[in-house]
Amino acid sequence: HVQLVESGGGSVQAGGSLRLSCVVSGSAIGSSYMGWFRQAPGLERVAVGVIDSIEITTYADSVKGRFTISRDNARNTLYLQMNSLKVEDTATYYCAAGRGWASGRSQLLSPLEYVHWGQGTQVTVS
């Protein structure tokens, strides 16, 4: 049974930083592609960024240059470093694990490509 647990969310002033963590249990993240998504009230869940199986990262235009995704396979953990936060970054953030090995596919930005999800962590920027 695969479980993803996010942490690190909270309230921060605009311009501040947060680092989200996502610990995976029940399966080694190994070379699986993984992603961070966010959902604001009344809006659909959208990709923040993904890291594919050869560790190429792709980001939404809205966060490029401010957010960084990384992974520590030894710790089975995915990270999202968020800098220069803006009010519009306020949302619930979810990490997700994909179906296995994949690289170079734009479809990896779609939530439909992910099979395991965390419960989410709230980020509020004021």
- At residue 108, φ and ψ (nearest 5 deg) are -65, -15
Lowest mean pLDDT among 26-35, 72-81, 82-91: 26-35
On average, the pLDDT of the chain sits at: 94
Q: In sequence order, what are the residues at sequence separation of 6 or more whose Cβ sits closer than 8 angstroms to the Cβ of residue 81?
A: 17, 19, 67, 68, 69, 70
Q: What's the pLDDT score for residue 100?
A: 87
Given a cut of 90, is residue 15 above it in pLDDT?
yes
Q: In sequence order, what are the residues at sequence separation of 6 or more whose Cβ sits closer than 8 angstroms to the Cβ of residue 72?
A: 79
Cα–Cα nearest to 121, from 86, 78, 84: 78
The stretch 25-38 carries a mean pLDDT of 88
The model's pLDDT over 46-57, given as tens digits with 9 standing for 90+, comes to 999 999 999 999
Report the chain's C-alpha Rg in angstroms: 13
17 falls in which pLDDT band (50, 70, 90)?
very high
35 falls in which pLDDT band (50, 70, 90)?
very high
Range ranked top by mean pLDDT from 29-38, 82-91, 95-104: 82-91
The stretch 95-118 carries a mean pLDDT of 91
